[in-house]
Structure 1
Amino acid sequence: MPRTGERGGPRTRARILEVANRVFLERGYEAVTVAEIAREAGVSSVTVFNHFPRKEDLFLDRADDAVDLLRSAVRDRAPDVEALTALRDMSFRLFDTRHPLSGVNDSSVPFFRTIAGSPALIARARAIESELRRTLAEELDSDPAFEGDGTLLAAFFIAGYSDMMVETARHLVAGEPAETVVKDHRTRLERLFTALRDGVGRPSPPR
């Protein structure tokens, strides 16, 4: 017989995430085991790992969302919209809605603080960044409508976006006024796309 709550894939996943995020924020990532999360969520450890291959994925659970957003920005843009413009539009939608992937969500401070306190989460975040860079490069390089250097644009965009989030996290965790930090974040987002547009967003002119 399955343990209580083992059925209902999406509901089970959501319950596991709710428990994991709560106990990680309360006690710190390193102090909590997968077995403890499973027990509180009413499932087995095997069920937890069926939904989340790594313990780190219980906290950094939006990697798949980020992949989907990048792919959609490239694949679903209108024929007359450049890839870089689509990435800019996506980034500002995340910012304007205070999406968790924007770095300026209401839960960003405890989220960033928990990551900063865990070498395992820091390492996984860096691995995710590399995965996102490869994903975007593949999408751009396979898109016949894109004429720039996909690998270079992906590297600059992902690195720039990640560095911007780290900088915002540093200011928020330090207790600086959220309104000021968010305003500065938007300014830096504009600067990022200005740099990308001027540097790698367009193919080099013929010699």
Structure 2
Amino acid sequence: MGATLRDVTDELGLRERKKQRTRAAISAAAIGLFLERGFDAVGVAEVARVADVSKRTLFAYFPTKEDLVLHRFADHETDAADVVRGRAPRQGALGALREAFLRGLDRREPVTGLCDEPAVLAVFRLVTGTPALAARLAEFSGAGEAALAAALAEAGVPPLDAGLAAAQIAAVRRTLATANMDAVVAGVPAARRHPEAVAAAERAFHLLASGVGFP
């Protein structure tokens, strides 16, 4: 008998899970080496050897050395755009983005900067202390901003306005996350930082909605 649709689906699911495990194993090996000896002191060939894969396989999962660390950020690249596209009927885009950011704070999502898990803190320190990683992270931020501008344009915002709004929203999210990250890296527990992080987010989105209003 031929393979059933369920058999095919199960096989595809198995392959995808295997890919995810391989990807996670390569990244874990890389981050372990980078944290131990520094990003610049470890070559891709050594990462491949420790992860027990070929360099070709490594680059199939991670196009650049920096991506071995930053893929977690890349996985969230279109989050803001996805929020805009998936918002409730008649809900404003900015309101949806505000709610999503506040939920992220409540859940201690690393992309909000408000996460004090030791492994996350170690990666924060690695990224902020490595120019190549900081530069690559900026590329992801730029791509996320472009995706958000496209989503706003799809919602009927004129292209120029969409680009300007996306730039402001991306800057606010980045500034909030950086402030939270700086606090937890300095030793402030996420639970203690949370009320201040929420207040800062509320203030920031209020300014976005009403305009800065400087004299």
TM-score by length of 2: 0.81
Give the drift of 1:65: 2.5
**Amino acid of the structure 2 residue aligned with 1:175:** G
Q: For 1:153, which of 165, 172, 187 is the aligned residue?
A: 165
Query: Runs of 5+ in structure 2 lacking a partner?
Result: 1-16
- Asked whether the 8 Å contact 2:78–2:148 carries over to 1, the reply is no
| Maintained 8 Å contact 2:66/2:132 | yes
Q: Quick one: distance in 2 between partners of 1:28 and 1:163?
A: 26
Residues paired across the two proteins, number: 193
Between the aligned partners of 2:176 and 2:101, the Cα distance in structure 1 is 12
Q: Deviations over 1:57-94 (max 9, x none)?
A: 11111244323422321111121111111111211221
Task: Select 2:34's aligned residue among 24, 48, 52.
Answer: 24
Could you tell me which of 134, 154, 164 is aligned with 1:142? 154
2:103 is aligned with 1:93: yes
Q: Matched residues in 1 for 2:201 and 2:34: separation?
A: 30
The corresponding residue for 2:21 is 11
User: For residues 56 and 109 of structure 2, what CA distance do their matches in structure 1 show?
Assistant: 31
Mapped partners of 1:188, 1:89: distance in 2: 13
Unaligned 5+ runs, structure 1: 1-6, 201-207
Q: Indicate the SS of the match to 1:43.
A: coil
Superposition map of 1:162-181 within 5 A: 162-181=174-193
Identity of aligned residues (%): 39
- Counterpart of 1:118 in structure 2 is 130
- Per the TM alignment, residue 54 of structure 1 is displaced from its structure 2 partner at its CA by 1.0
Residue identity matched to 1:194: H
Tell which structure's C-alpha radius of gyration is larger: 2
Q: CA RMSD in A?
A: 2.2
State the shift of 1:97 in Å.
Answer: 1.0
Bigger mean CA offset, 107-116 vs 48-57: 107-116
CA deviations over 1:94-121 (Å, ceiling 9, x no partner): 1111122121122442222111221101
The answer to which structure has the higher helix fraction is 2
Partner of 1:54: 64
The answer to whether the 8 Å contact 1:28/1:117 transfers is no
